[in-house]
């Protein structure tokens, strides 16, 4: 009989400043493919049906809490930045009524997919592990903690790069910062870690060495695609993540029967609904909760925002349609601007035969 896997509790760490982004804005609040970065993480964990989900907030916490108002989460406050171990410890009270596996991840991993988290959770249970670490092997491991193993291949500890020797920095396998761990062990181990390191911080990674010393089962789950498992730490990485999320969205649309002539230049908001047999030219943008009926054709450079486009409508090149309803079979001339001055207040401006 297949073992039933109980939903985990989830802790999302979102208290950091993200100084490498060179911004006054908290990293998890940066916009990425039509939503705050942290929204992608919350959508990724949702299929796990976690009870509860705790978001650890600190820097600009009011703003972070505000953008997560639509999610079923509770918040734990990290008032001072004393390291990842301290951040997780701040969630202890929020998990007082939970007993089971806790999944820990960061709020800056927007490319992570829920299928990998599900596989990691299943791997954790299949190995009867007390602690499972997600690892991966990027082309350049600079900046990440290295996975140290013994001669038998067993993990012995994680060493942060700033504390690593020159030889240890040559190791390619890194800690992705995502864990499955028994709740009881987690918080007892956090009471035993110290700030005896180059940063003077409480490292969450130190619980690995504690588990090994206590002769507990520690497993690893290797993510096959390093880019998907790692956080966003720069504007260049933010742009690369945008491109990948856009490509995923376009691939899904094409599989559903939408023609996209130049996917690299076409951007469709995840909230938008595009029916089969629509044709999107180069440079098209469809944003907000727009709806394109079956068989619509959008010529190059068209922008549609929060609008309803009737089936078989034709939108000419570089036209802009905002907060507007276009009738079925309508033809909109190139370079046309149609917008409702009341913005998204219903009813939409109706254009039954514009340009026909």
Tokens of 123: 């791997």
Query: At residue 319, what are phi and psi to the nearest 5 degrees?
Result: -80, 155
Residues 6+ away with beta carbon under 8 Å from 338: 319, 320, 321, 322, 324, 326, 332, 349, 351, 354
CA-to-CA separations, 198 to 164, 168, 321, 347, in angstroms, rounded: 10, 16, 55, 60
Q: What is the distance between the alpha carbons of residues 221 and 284, in angstroms, rounded to a whole number?
A: 39
Q: What is the dihedral of CA 203, 207, 209, 215, to 10 degrees?
A: 180
Three state DSSP letters for the chain: CCCCCCCCEEEEEECCCCHHHCCCCCHHHCEECCEEHHHHHHHHHHHHCCCCEEEEEECEHHHHHHHCCCCCCEEEECCCCCCHHHHHHCCCHHHCCCCCEEEEEECCCCCCCHHHHHHHHHHHHHCCCCEEEEEECCCCCCCCCEEEECCCCCEEEEECHHHCCCCHHHCCCEEEEEEEEEHHHHHHHHCCCCCCCCCCCCCCCHHHHHHHHCCCCEEEEECCCHHHHCCCCCHHHHHHHHHHHHHHHHHHHHHCCCEECCHHHCEECCCCEECCCCEECCCCEEECCCEECCCCEECCCCEEECCEECCCCEECCCCEEECEEECCCCEECCCCEEECCCCCCCCCEEECCCCC
Tell me, yes or no, if 20 is annotated catalytic.
Answer: yes
> Which residue is catalytic, options 20, 35, 248, 271?
20
As annotated, the active-site residues are 20
């Amino acid at each position: 009989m297949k073992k039933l896997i109980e939903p985990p509790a989830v802790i999302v760490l979102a208290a950091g400043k993200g100084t490498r982004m060179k911004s006054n804005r908290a990293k998890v609040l940066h916009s990425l493919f039509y939503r705050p970065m942290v929204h992608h993480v919350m959508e990724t964990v949702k299929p796990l049906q976690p009870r509860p989900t705790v978001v650890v907030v600190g820097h600009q916490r009011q703003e972070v809490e505000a953008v997560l108002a639509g999610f079923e989460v509770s918040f734990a406050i990290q008032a001072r930045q004393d390291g990842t171990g301290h951040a997780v410890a701040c969630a202890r009270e929020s998990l007082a009524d939970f007993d089971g596996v806790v999944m820990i991840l960061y709020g800056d991993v927007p490319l992570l997919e829920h299928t990998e988290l599900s596989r990691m959770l299943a791997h954790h249970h299949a190995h009867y592990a007390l602690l499972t670490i997600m690892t991966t092997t990027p082309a350049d491991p600079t900046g990440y903690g290295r996975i140290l193993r013994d001669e038998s291949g067993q993990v012995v500890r994680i060493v942060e790069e700033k504390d690593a020797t020159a030889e240890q920095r040559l190791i390619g396998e890194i800690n992705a910062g995502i864990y499955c761990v028994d709740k009881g062990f987690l918080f007892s181990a956090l009471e035993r870690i110290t700030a005896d390191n180059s940063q003077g911080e409480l490292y969450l990674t130190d619980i690995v060495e504690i588990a090994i010393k206590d002769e507990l089962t520690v497993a690893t789950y290797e993510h096959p695609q390093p880019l998907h498992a790692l956080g966003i730490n720069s504007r260049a990485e933010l742009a690369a993540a945008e491109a990948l999320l856009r490509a995923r969205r376009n691939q899904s649309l094409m599989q559903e029967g939408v023609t996209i002539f130049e996917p690299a230049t076409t951007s469709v908001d995840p909230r938008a609904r595009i029916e089969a047999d629509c044709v999107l030219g180069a440079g098209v943008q469809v944003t907000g909760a727009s709806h394109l009926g079956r068989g619509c054709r959008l010529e190059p450079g068209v922008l549609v925002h929060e609008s309803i486009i009737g089936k078989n409508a034709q939108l000419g090149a570089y036209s802009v349609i905002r907060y507007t309803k276009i009738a079925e079979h309508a033809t909109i001339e190139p370079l046309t601007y149609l917008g409702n001055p009341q913005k998204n207040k219903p009813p939409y401006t109706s254009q039954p035969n514009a340009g026909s």
